[in-house]
Amino acid sequence: MLFLAGDLTRHGTADEARVVAEEFSDIGVPVVAVLGNHDYHNDEQDLICELLREHGISVLEGESTVISVNGGSLAVAGLKGFGGGFSGACASPFGERQMKLFAGHTVDLAHRLAGALDDVAGNADATVVLMHYSPVPDTLVGEPLEIYPFLGSYLFAEVIDQYQVDLVLHGHAHAGTRCGVTPGGIPVRNVAQPVIQSAYAVFGLHDLVDSHVNSPSC
């Protein structure tokens, strides 16, 4: 299957999304996507989702799905995610209304991710979390430290560790690092195109089943 980790458009317009939808329709494998911050820029994110889904692309936002793959099954929980920062240097929903809205949005999304994972717990051979923002600082190395709070949040890693998923894929950090790990040992891969420097990266389902002990190689 093909995962699309957000920023499917440059300016978040329906015209751009239509090109994406046509490009990735009927390619012979299931396609699962999440939106990125670029896809929200023009406030047409709902229309973008509609266009993609009309072309057979599964778009997840705090949702999950189970897909049959070569005799096995893979659960995918996906959402855009959001910022907030990481342990010891993070925003909290306290103080001004604007700060509470910013930090509280991430709290809400972390709860949605937990719900999505709960829906598929025990229903597949392996589980992947697909995000745009990062759940760990590891894969942000190379980005300016000052913008880490706008690139992800540790709250998502807490949920990921709780459900012991097999792999996390994210984009967004264009100057970041390819490989990371959650505090609980779950492998995280930054698949932003400037990082992988190729059209796509390949991960084998058979490599994920024992990934808690033997993390997939970079």
DSSP letters spanning the chain:
-EEEES--SSS--HHHHHHHHHHHTTSSS-EEEE--GGGGTTS-HHHHHHHHHHTT-EE-SSEEEEEEETTEEEEEEEE-----EETTEE--S-SSHHHHHHHHHHHHHHHHHHHHHHHHTTSSSEEEEEESSBSSSGGGBTB-GGGGGGTBBHHHHHHHHHHT-SEEEE---TTS-SEEE-TT--EEEE--HHHH-SS-----HHHHTTTTTSPPP-
pLDDT of residue 207: 61
Cβ neighbourhood burial of 41 (10 Å; 0-12, 13-18, 19+):
middle
What percent of the chain clears pLDDT 90, i.e. is strictly above it?
89
Mean pLDDT for the stretch of residues 206-210: 58
Task: Answer for the pair 67, 53: CB distance below 8 angstroms, yes or no.
Answer: no
Task: Answer for the pair 170, 131: CB distance below 8 angstroms, yes or no.
Answer: yes
Largest separation between any pair of C-alpha atoms in the chain: 52
Decide: pTM greater than 0.75: yes
Residue 214 has pLDDT above 70, yes or no: no
pLDDT (tens digit, 9 = 90+) per residue, 176-194? 999 999 999 999 999 999 9
Closest CA to 130 of 113, 142, 147: 113
Report all structural domains of the chain as residue ranges with CATH numbers, in order of start: 1-59 (3.60.21.40), 65-218 (no CATH)
Task: Answer for the pair 182, 168: CB distance below 8 angstroms, yes or no.
Answer: yes
Q: What is the phi/psi pair of residue 169, to 5°?
A: -120, 135
pLDDT (tens digit, 9 = 90+) per residue, 116-160? 999 999 999 999 999 999 999 999 999 999 999 999 999 999 999
**85 CB neighbour count, 10 Å cutoff:** 20
